[in-house]
Structure formats: C-alpha cells, structure tokens
Amino acid sequence: ENFLQKTSAPFSTDSCDAFISPNMLNLSSFTKLMKKLQEIHPEASRDKIVDALLEVRKNNKGILNGLSINSIVERTSVIL
C-alpha cells in the first residue's frame, strides 16, 4: 500500500521501456510491472516482489524516476 502511495507515472501501455516520471508508477504501471515480474519469478510471492521493488527504489536514491521499466525489472530480478 505504501509503495502505491509513493508511486505514479504515465507511459504508453505498449511500451516496456518507457521512462517513469516523476518518481513513481501509477496503479496501471505497477500492475503491469508486477505481472511481468511474477511471470519471470513465479516462485516469488507478491510481498517478496514488492519488497524487492522497494529495495530498487531505495538503491536509486529513493526514486524510480528516470529508470525504464526494463531497468526496474532487471534490477528487481537481481534482488529476487
């Protein structure tokens, strides 16, 4: 919940490498990101994926701004 409150960003629904702006993912982006990560990491729970996403944000000075979706997926996958 806290993650969703701190995140929001419009981008094309067809683009997986669009840039997040400003600082956050909107609910639709978050849902797509979660779906992609769950497909790549079916063994990981939703909570574990969210924790990994929060760590990616923390490691990026507390923001996701400027990271492509693919970059977020790659960094999260390394953590998972």
Task: Tell me the pTM.
Answer: 0.65
Q: CA-to-CA distance for 14 and 59, rounded, in angstroms?
A: 27
What's residue 4's pLDDT? 47
Q: Render pLDDT for 32-62 as a digit per residue (tens, 0 to 9).
A: 889 999 999 999 999 999 999 999 999 999 9
Amino acid code (one letter) for 61: K
Q: Render pLDDT for 9-29 as a digit per residue (tens, 0 to 9).
A: 444 344 444 444 444 556 678
- pLDDT band for position 67 (cuts 50, 70, 90): confident
First-to-last C-alpha distance (Å) of the chain: 20
